[in-house]
């Protein structure tokens, strides 16, 4: 596990919806040990980009490489099994299951064994251990037996991350993990993301600019589907195009 190793690479990724070019020729690299943030106004194409990287949406142009392999034609589940984990902007949990079961089911994806019909799912030591680790890591251990639907909004966001971790991914695609969180919850989440940074390659789509500039090593700015600037936080902060187009300065 070497830091700086490129785990996910997008080459000229495009997505066209009829006459609208939602994402236009976006290229980026995600390295282990660093957080790559993608920022942009609503409708800039950030979610479309994340959906193409995760395999939920097929690109109309360009390609995606995961761990050195061309995965452009791979389905989302296959990419997930190869080490791509994602969280959703809107909470996408299993509300009727317990917090722990949410994570256990996610961990089960690594040892699916669907043919073992006589075996209790809760008797699988691997997925039980992984689920426990991810519940603890996300700080939800006290709530592990609670139905996930009863969690507060912030806790649900934490659970999103925990479920993502339970699949033991190398690459994390996090779609607005801080959306709707209070100050204290934001701090906790940022601490968690900082902890995860060393061992993962992280893509962070986020609207909270303070958080982005604090945690990101590299920032890509998108406007109307295209990248207008990409580089270190300092570079982006001082880029004239970004100031005009995004930060609203004239």
Partner 1 sequence: MKRSEVLFVVLAFAALALFPLVAEPYGIDRVTKIMVFCIFALSLELLVGSTGLVCFGQAAFLGVGAYAAVLLSPQDGPAALWWLLPVSMLAAAAYALFMGALSLRTRGVYFIMVTLAFSQMAFYVVHDTPLGGGTDGIYLNNKPVLGTLLDLDRPLPMYGFTLACLLIVFVLLALILRSRFGRALAGIRVNEQRMRATGFSTYPYKLAAFVLSGAIAGLAGFLFAVKDGFVNPELMSWHLSGEVLIMIILGGLGHLRGALLGAFVFAMLQEFFKSEAIFGDFAKHWHLGLGASIILSVALLPRGLVDVPHQVVQRLLGWRSNAPGGKGRS
CA distance 169 to 190: 19
Name the residue nearer to partner 1 (CB basis): 75 or 238. 75
- Provide the strand spans (E) within the chain: 6-17, 20-31, 35-40, 61-66, 69-70, 84-87, 171-175, 201-205, 218-223, 226-231
The two structure tokens encoding residue 112 = 């699916």
Nearer to partner 1, 102 or 220 (CB): 102
Query: Which of 120, 142, 145, 249 touches partner 1 by CB under 8 A?
Result: 120
Contact characters 147-176, partner 1, x per CB under 8 A: ----------------x---x---------
Which of these segments, 24-32, 113-121, 182-190, 234-242, binds partner 1 (CB under 8 A)? 113-121
Does 95 contact partner 1 by CB under 8 A? Answer: yes
Q: Nearer Cβ to partner 1, position 102 or 239?
A: 102
Euclidean distance between the first and the last CA atom of the chain, given in angstroms as a whole number: 44
Check: CB of residue 65 under 8 Å from CB of residue 11: yes
In this chain, which stretch among 62-70, 102-110, 222-230, 233-241 interacts with partner 1, using CB under 8 A?
102-110
Of 72, 76, 89, 98, the residue at the interface with partner 1 (CB under 8 A) is 76
Measured from the CB of residue 75, what is the shortest distance to partner 1 in angstroms? Answer: 7
Q: What's the sign of the alpha-carbon dihedral 232, 234, 240, 244? A: positive
Residue 57 in contact with partner 1, rule: CB under 8 A: no
145 binds partner 1 (CB under 8 A): no
Q: Taking Cα atoms as reference points, which of 32, 37, 74 lies closest to residue 53?
A: 74
The answer to whether 225 and 58 are in contact (CB under 8 A) is: no
Strand partners, 61: 14
Nearest distance from C-beta of residue 48 to partner 1, angstroms: 16
Residue 181 — φ and ψ, nearest 5°?
Answer: -95, 150
Exactly one of 12, 43, 77, 180 binds partner 1 (CB under 8 A); that residue is 77
Query: Of 117, 125, 183, 240, which one interacts with partner 1 (CB under 8 A)?
Result: 117
* 54 near partner 1, judged by CB under 8 A: yes
Q: Can you tell me which of 6, 20, 27, 122 binds partner 1, judged by CB under 8 A?
A: 122
Tell me, what DSSP letter sits at residue 232?
A: -
The two three-digit tokens of residue 219, written as one number: 């920032």
CA–CA separation, 172 vs 204, rounded Å?
A: 8
Q: Which of residues 185-244 bind partner 1 (CB under 8 A)?
A: none
Q: What is the binding site for partner 1 (CB under 8 A)?
A: 54, 56, 75-78, 80-81, 86, 88, 92-97, 101, 104-106, 108-122, 124, 163, 167
């Amino acid at each position: 596990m070497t830091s700086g190793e490129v785990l996910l690479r997008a080459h000229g990724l495009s997505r066209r919806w009829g006459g609208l070019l939602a994402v236009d020729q976006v290229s980026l690299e995600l390295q282990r040990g660093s957080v790559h943030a993608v920022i942009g106004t609503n409708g800039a194409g950030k979610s479309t980009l994340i959906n193409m990287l995760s395999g939920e949406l097929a690109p109309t142009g360009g390609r995606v490489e995961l761990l050195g392999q061309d995965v452009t034609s791979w389905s989302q589940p296959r990419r997930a099994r190869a080490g791509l984990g994602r969280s959703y902007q809107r909470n996408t949990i299993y509300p009727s299951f317990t917090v722990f079961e949410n994570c256990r089911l996610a961990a089960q994806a690594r040892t699916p064994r669907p043919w073992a019909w006589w075996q209790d799912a809760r008797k699988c030591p691997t997925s039980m251990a992984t689920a426990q680790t991810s519940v603890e890591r996300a700080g939800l251990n006290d709530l592990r037996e609670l139905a996930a639907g009863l969690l507060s909004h912030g806790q649900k966001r934490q659970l999103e991350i925990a479920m993502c971790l339970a699949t033991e991914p190398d690459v994390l695609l996090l779609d607005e993990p801080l959306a709707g969180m209070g100050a204290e919850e934001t701090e906790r989440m940022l601490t968690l993301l900082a902890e995860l940074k060393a061992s993962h390659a992280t893509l962070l789509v986020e609207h909270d600019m303070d958080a982005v500039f604090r945690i990101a090593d590299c920032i890509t700015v998108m406007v109307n589907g295209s990248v207008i600037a990409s580089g270190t936080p300092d570079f982006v902060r001082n880029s004239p195009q970004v100031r005009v187009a995004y930060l609203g300065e004239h």
